[in-house]
A and B are shown apart, each in its own frame.
Chain A
Amino acid sequence: DQQVKQNSPSLSVQEGRISILNCDYTNSMFDYFLWYKKYPAEGPTFLISISSIKDKNEDGRFTVFLNKSAKHLSLHIVPSQPGDSAVYFCAASVPGSARQLTFGSGTQLTVLP
């Protein structure tokens, strides 16, 4: 039972344009959401997070939007750069001291020069 779903395995975007990566979740207990970027043969790198008390968080070129009623979040990258090409994972956690992460299956973003 996948509690966090990334339905698009891949996405291609032209350099300079906006990249929009989507994530859906089913567990209404999730209250904290994160996006990680991963290059081949490396570990995931933390990008940006959002608490369920907010609906938007922005950090430079990266913005995460949370729609709790739809159980949907998205990551916007503007403008996209070739160095953004990587696999992007959405992750979520429930309240509690442990905060173990439940990951989606990832979306391969390719930014074309």
Chain B
Amino acid sequence: NAGVMQNPRHLVRRRGQEARLRCSPMKGHSHVYWYRQLPEEGLKFMVYLQKENIIDESGMPKERFSAEFPKEGPSILRIQQVVRGDSAAYFCASSTVVAGVTDTQYFGPGTRLTVL
């Protein structure tokens, strides 16, 4: 049973370019979370999605960031016009829902974004 998959593992972008990060949840998981980890800090929640629906995006920056989880294919975190401050590790987690509550979140290996 494959775990959560993220690609690319490393991504280098120049300021002003777009970054697209992909996440495929564990088999049988229909809910995806995105977290960001800045250097020397813990992970910070960004957005929570289920198929075709954003449930909670309270942790997402208001501008330049967007996320989707289409009916088919992986979840995508998109960062437009990247700036140096976007350099971080971005982790995706997936979970199932048990009795209306999300179960344990399992994390992918992360995408390390470097903005030059």
What is A's interface to B at a CB cutoff of 8 Å?
Answer: 4, 6, 34, 36, 41-46, 49, 89, 91, 96-106
Contact = CB atoms under 8 A, between A and B. Distances in A.
Contacts of A46: 104-107
Interface of B: 4, 6, 33, 35, 40-45, 48, 55-56, 59, 91, 93, 95, 97, 100-102, 104-110, 112
A4 B102 CA distance: 20
Nearest to B37: A103
Given A43-B91, A44-B91, A97-B97, A103 B44 contact: yes
A42 B110 contact: yes
Given A89-B43, A105-B41, A106-B42, A43 B110 contact: yes
B65 to A, nearest CB: 16
A100 B6 CA distance: 19
A33 to B, nearest CB: 12
B4 A43 contact: yes
16 contacts: A36-B107, A43-B110, A45-B107, A46-B105, A46-B106, A46-B107, A96-B101, A97-B97, A97-B102, A98-B48, A99-B95, A100-B33, A100-B45, A101-B35, A101-B43, A103-B44
Contacts of B35: 101, 103
B43 A103 contact: yes
Contacts of A97: 55, 97, 100-102
A35 to B, nearest CB: 12
B108 A43 contact: yes
B41 A42 contact: no
Contacts of B108: 43
